[in-house]
């Protein structure tokens, strides 16, 4: 029986519950499953676990030649528990003939719901109004509706499409920026493809769902924030460093835009000295957009399915990140 090890998650009641369920499900796919909590994660602890496995389920830590060269004799697949893969060196994985995949779409509903909630909370000034009541001020900060307004989505993959669907009940016009989507494909999905400057200058809310690459580093910068309406909000649930946090803090401090929501940051945990922390027009959450029981299980299940299919010699399609691994 082939073996898959899971390096995701620290010990908690929820992760123990999920891993017991994962072990049972893996057995139904003819896999031996072992959870190896990383407390803390290190290159040595990862290598030790992966050297004894045919496939591994990994989290957000950096994986490169230091690991690949030592596990390649047995472990031929790593599955990213989630979607972002910027910490995995795909070139070096391919050079060691290790396939890398991700659990595409498994957490899309949860992340889209988080982005939706952040947009609505920012548009209605939830933080300011909550703080006013808690501090004894019965004053009302006026917000903005999204009914009939324009939503901009950067990145129209599984999460972006879910978010567009959530806003369909608001009769919102949805504009998307995605270099991999044609105008015809966008129109077929009921949205409009637009360039970044048009989206930033015309949308009432903007949600970011692009991966982090050298091309998306500080995609949201002072120049683009300056294009936004004073009543607009921007939220990011994808990856830190896509947003220039210093520029965003300045725009919020000067009330250049209405508000923002960030679930991801350039440095995590967010440093106490971050200029964002003292602002009451930005929602800050600790990278939890995919942290629902539903999404967690969907990612476990999909990671196991990908592992089982791969080890059975089946194609894993669009979940594979480096098809060149075959050499």
List the 99-102 sheet strands across, edge first.
31-35, 2-6, 55-58, 77-80, 99-102
* Residue of 16, 187, 223, 268 with catalytic role: 268
In contact, 109 and 237? CB cutoff 8 Å: no
Active site residue 324: no
Total residues belonging to the chain: 327
Catalytic residue, from 21, 34, 287, 324: name it: 287
User: Could you give the angle at the alpha carbon of 259 between the alpha carbons of 265 and 174, nearest 5°?
Assistant: 90
Strands (E), 134-179: 150-154, 173-177
Nearest-angstrom CA–CA distance, 104 and 81 = 9
3-state class of 183 per DSSP? helix
Closest CA to 101 of 82, 79, 81, 85: 79
| Catalytic residue check, 48 | no
Assess whether 95 carries a catalytic annotation: no
State how far the Cα of 217 lies from the Cα of 204, in Å rounded to an integer: 23
Q: What is the largest CA-CA distance in the chain?
A: 66
From residue 36, alpha-carbon distances to 44, 194, 275, 323 in Å are 13, 45, 37, 27
Q: How many CA atoms lie within 13 A of 117 on its CB side?
A: 15
CA angle 211, 212, 217 (to 5 degrees): 135
Helix (H, G, I), strand (E, B) or coil at 193: strand
The residues that are catalytic are 239, 268, 287
């Amino acid at each position: 029986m082939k073996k898959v090890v899971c390096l995701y998650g620290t010990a908690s009641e929820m992760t123990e519950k999920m891993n017991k369920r994962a072990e049972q499900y893996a057995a139904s796919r003819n896999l031996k499953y072992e959870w190896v909590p990383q407390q803390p994660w290190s290159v040595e602890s990862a290598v030790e676990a992966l050297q004894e496995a045919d496939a591994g389920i990994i989290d957000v830590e950096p994986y490169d030649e230091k690991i690949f060269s030592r596990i390649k004799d047995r472990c031929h697949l790593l599955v990213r528990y989630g979607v972002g893969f910027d910490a995995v060196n795909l070139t070096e994985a391919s050079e060691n003939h290790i396939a890398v995949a991700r659990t595409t779409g498994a957490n899309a509903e949860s992340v889209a719901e988080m982005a939706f909630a952040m947009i609505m909370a920012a548009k209605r000034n939830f933080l300011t109004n909550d703080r006013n009541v808690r501090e004894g001020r019965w004053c009302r900060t006026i917000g903005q509706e999204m009914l009939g307004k324009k939503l901009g989505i950067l990145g129209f993959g599984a999460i972006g499409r879910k978010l567009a669907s959530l806003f369909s009940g608001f009769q919102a016009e949805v504009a998307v920026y995605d270099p991999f989507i044609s105008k015809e494909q966008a129109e077929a999905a009921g949205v409009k493809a637009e360039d970044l400057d048009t989206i930033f200058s015309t949308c009432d809310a903007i949600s970011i769902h692009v991966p982090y690459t050298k091309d998306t580093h500080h995609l949201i910068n002072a120049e683009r924030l300056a294009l936004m309406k004073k009543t607009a909000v921007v939220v990011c649930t994808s990856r830190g460093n896509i947003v220039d946090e210093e520029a965003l803090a300045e725009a919020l401090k000067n009330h250049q835009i209405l508000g923002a929501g960030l679930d991801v940051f350039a440095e995590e945990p967010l440093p106490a000295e971050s200029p964002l922390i003292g602002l009451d027009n930005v929602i800050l959450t600790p990278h939890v957009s995919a942290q629902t029981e539903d999404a967690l299980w969907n990612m476990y299940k999909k990671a196991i399915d990908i592992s089982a299919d791969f080890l059975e010699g089946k194609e894993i399609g669009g979940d594979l990140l480096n098809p060149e691994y075959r050499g």
